[in-house]
Amino acid sequence: MSLTIDLARRILEASKQRANELRSPVSIAIVDAGGHLVLFERMMSPYGWATGNISIAKATTAVMFNQSTDAVAQWGSQIPGFASSMATMSQGKFIMAAGGWPIRLNGATIGGIGISGGNAPGRDDDIARAGLSVLEAMGAPIPASRYAQPQSVPVYAQAGSSAGLQPSPAYPSTPIAQPSPVPATPDPAAADTMNIDMKQEMESQQNPYGDGPAASDQYSENSGGRS
C-alpha cells in the first residue's frame, strides 16, 4: 500500500490542528516510502525559513531508518562522525533531532512525517504523533514517545480492611509545620528591680570631666544654682 495524497492531507491537517492547540506554528513535511516530498506546509510563513528544510530532513530520516528520529539520535550520537557522514551522503536530508516518525500501515512503512519549529521540548514529537493518530482509525497503533506523559495510576491500600480497597494519596501529605516556641513573658518585678539598680549606679557616679554637674549634684528651684 502506498501513501495517497488524501491520506497525507489528513495526517497533515491533524498535525496542524494539534499545532494550533499548542500555539506552535511549525513546518510540517510528509514524504513517501522513497523519501520524496508529498505534502509540505510552513505555518509560520514568512518566518521560520530554516524549519522547512529541517522538517523535510526529519521525515526523510524517519523513512531511511524506519524509526523515529529521536531513536536514531540516541544511538547515532554514540558513533563518531555518523551525523556528518549521513548528512553529506543524503545531501542534507538527514538530521538527529526529535520530531520525525515513519508512517506505517498494515505493518509496512508507507512514508514519514517531520515536524520542526515547536517552542518546547517534545513539542515536535507531540504534533507529529497527533498526525499519526489518523491511522488509528485504520487499525494502525500509535507509536509511543519518550516525551509522552505517563498516566497516573492510583495507589491502593492492602486488601483485607473492613472498608475494602481505599485509595491512598499519590503524593505524601505535606508535614504540618510546628509552631515556633513563644518567648517567655518578662517578669515586671524583675524589670523594675533592674531599672532601680541602674538608676542608683548612675547617681553614684561623678562627672569625670568637670564640665557640668554630676549626677549627684542638686539644684535649687529658687536660685537655679547649686544648694
Give the pLDDT mean for 160-167.
37
For domain 5-138, the CATH class is: alpha beta
* CB neighbour class for 213 (10 Å; exposed up to 12, middle 13-18, buried from 19): exposed
Q: Can you give the pLDDT at residue 46?
A: 74
Instruction: Determine the Cα–Cα distance for residues 52 and 208; give it in Å rounded to an integer.
Output: 91
**pLDDT at residue 168 above 50?**
no
Give the pLDDT mean for 51-78.
95
Instruction: Determine the Cα–Cα distance for residues 102 and 112; give it in Å rounded to an integer.
Output: 4
Model's pTM, two decimal places?
Answer: 0.61
38 closest CA partner among 50, 28, 26, 29: 29
* CB neighbour class for 13 (10 Å; exposed up to 12, middle 13-18, buried from 19): middle
Residue 25 CA to chain centroid, in angstroms?
20
Q: Can you give the pLDDT at residue 41?
A: 95
Q: Can you give the pLDDT at residue 47?
A: 77
| Cell output for 24 | 506552535
Q: Write the pLDDT tens digit of every residue in 26-55.
A: 999 999 999 999 999 999 877 788 999 999
Backbone φ, ψ for residue 72 (5° rounding): -60, -40
CB atoms under 10 Å from CB of 9, counted, come to 14
Give the pLDDT mean for 123-133.
96
57 closest CA partner among 45, 72, 78, 46: 72
